[in-house]
Amino acid sequence: MPSSEFEPGALKALLATASSAGPRSAKGTIYSAKIPGWPFGVPMSRGEKGEKVAWALWFDDRGRVTRLTTKVSQRTNDDYVLGLSSDLRFTGWGSRVTVEAPPEESVIEVEDLPQEPGLSVEEKEPIETSPQGK
Q: Residue 2: its pLDDT value, please?
A: 41
Give the count of alpha carbons within 13 A of 73, CB side only: 3
Sequence-distant (≥ 6) Cβ neighbours of residue 89 within 8 angstroms: 66, 67
pTM for this prediction: 0.63
DSSP bridge partners of 103: none
Strand extents, DSSP E, the chain: 18-21, 25-31, 52-59, 65-75, 81-89
**What number is the average pLDDT over the span 28-55?**
73
The residue among 91, 102, 124 whose CA lies nearest residue 5 is: 124
Upper half-sphere CA count for residue 96 (Cβ side, 13 Å)? 0
pLDDT over 90, % of the chain: 33
DSSP string, 62-78: TS-EEEEEEEEEEE-TT
Helix (H, G, I), strand (E, B) or coil at 14: helix
- pLDDT 10s digits, 67-121: 999 998 877 788 888 888 889 898 998 899 898 999 999 988 877 877 776 666 5
Say if CB 71 and CB 84 are below 8 A apart. yes
How far apart, in Å, do the first and last CA atoms of the chain sit?
33
